[in-house]
Structure 1
């Protein structure tokens, strides 16, 4: 249980960092008036947390589902 928790935390942090890196390529200047301002940066942080957590949750659940498939055999 503890190892699974650590893996989930590390997986979440890794995908949050990856999504933040990927959002750097997105053109926020089309949607916000000041893309270098603190509110736009906060929006990028919130979006990266939202996206990264969703992707990490998907992979965590997918791994859990593959573990459940062992019960078939």
Structure 2
């Protein structure tokens, strides 16, 4: 990915660390493609719902959940 002029300029003044030498992670995590938007997962996925852990980025760490449907939309119990 091409760096912006402000990044290059800031690096030359040593205002920020040299980031142009770092690898470009954007090509490693290519999206699988658009997925249809939905309000809730398909019932076949409820026993083992898989979601990527946002705190583990850039590592793709999966978190497994069991989804239990409720009738109360307010308290999320």
Please say whether Structure 1 and Structure 2 have the same fold, judged by a TM-score greater than 0.5.
no
Q: Which has the higher contact order (CA 8 A, sep 6+)?
A: 1
Q: Which has the higher strand share?
A: 2
What TM-score, normalized to structure 1?
0.27
The structure with the largest alpha-carbon Rg is: 2
Q: Which has the higher helix share?
A: 1
